[in-house]
Amino acid sequence: MTSATKINLTKPILITLYGFPGSGKSFVARHLVEDFQLAHLNSERLRSDLFENPQYSEREDFIVSQLMSYLAQQFLIAGLGVVYDTNARNRQFRKQLADLAKRNHADYLLLWLQIDQESAYERTQKRDRRTADDKYAPELSQSSFLEQLSQMQNPDKEPYLVLSGKHGFASQKNSILNYFYKTKLVPREIVQSAITKPGLVNLIPHRAAEPLDLTRRNISVG
């Protein structure tokens, strides 16, 4: 999708992400900025730009977090929404981001990517460094993967939207657009023109061993 066809929101929003490593957070972030007029701040890319050999230390985390927040604020002041692409595992950190959005007259949303633990871990072990989504992701052993999971604090009394980490972006985008419509960030006509509708679905499975029944039909589900 070219910049000329990107969807404009009625006001800035700060979007951040939450989910297991390997749940598809950077995948969703990349597609969001391809389809919507949003700035993309990726913490791991920023870390790679700042440090030649990242150590993932507390000092590095602090520097990256401070710079991310500063850049996010500058974009919001300029009237441009931001995808804050990091794993916002901690409730207190998410509250700081929500406060940052509020101070700059922007909406705030947490996208919660949900996927089973086994599939998420398997994805982390099959990362392709040639792709944009995997290029800057850190290497994870099973112990470091489990350590990150132990630090996660599920959303509680904060605005969030659950997305399936196993679905493609077309389905995820439908959910996001519906949320944007309900919160008056996009008008109805944008939702109607941009939302993806399912195609033909055969509701009755074909069994090769049975004779062909011409009364069966494909049904279009609107």
CA 115: distance to chain centroid?
Answer: 13
Angle between helices 91-103 and 58-77 (to 10 degrees): 30
pLDDT tens by residue, 127-154: 888 888 888 888 899 999 999 999 999 9
> For residue 12, is it within any domain?
yes
> For residue 222, is it within any domain?
no
CA 17: distance to chain centroid?
Answer: 6
- Domain containing residue 143: 3-201
> For residue 216, is it within any domain?
no
Band of residue 206 on the pLDDT scale cut at 50, 70, 90: very low
> For residue 186, is it within any domain?
yes
- Give residues with Cβ within 8 angstroms of 216, minimum separation 6: 202, 204, 206
| Rounded CA separation 213/48 (Å) | 60
Please check the confidence at residue 212 and state whether its pLDDT lies above 80. no
> For residue 221, is it within any domain?
no
> For residue 211, is it within any domain?
no
Please check the confidence at residue 97 and state whether its pLDDT lies above 60. yes
Q: Is the pTM of this model over 0.75?
A: yes
Please check the confidence at residue 35 and state whether its pLDDT lies above 90. yes
Query: Number of structural domains, the chain?
Result: 1
User: 13-46 burial string, b = 16+ CB within 10 Å, else e?
Assistant: bbbbbbbbbbbbbbbbbbbbbebbebbbbbbbbb
> For residue 129, is it within any domain?
yes
Please check the confidence at residue 163 and state whether its pLDDT lies above 80. yes
Please check the confidence at residue 201 and state whether its pLDDT lies above 50. no
Which CATH number belongs to the domain containing residue 7 in this structure?
A: 3.40.50.300
- Give residues with Cβ within 8 angstroms of 86, minimum separation 6: 16, 17, 42, 43, 44, 68
CB atoms within 10 A of CB 142: 10
> For residue 194, is it within any domain?
yes
Band of residue 117 on the pLDDT scale cut at 50, 70, 90: very high
Mean pLDDT for the stretch of residues 112-122: 96
Band of residue 54 on the pLDDT scale cut at 50, 70, 90: confident
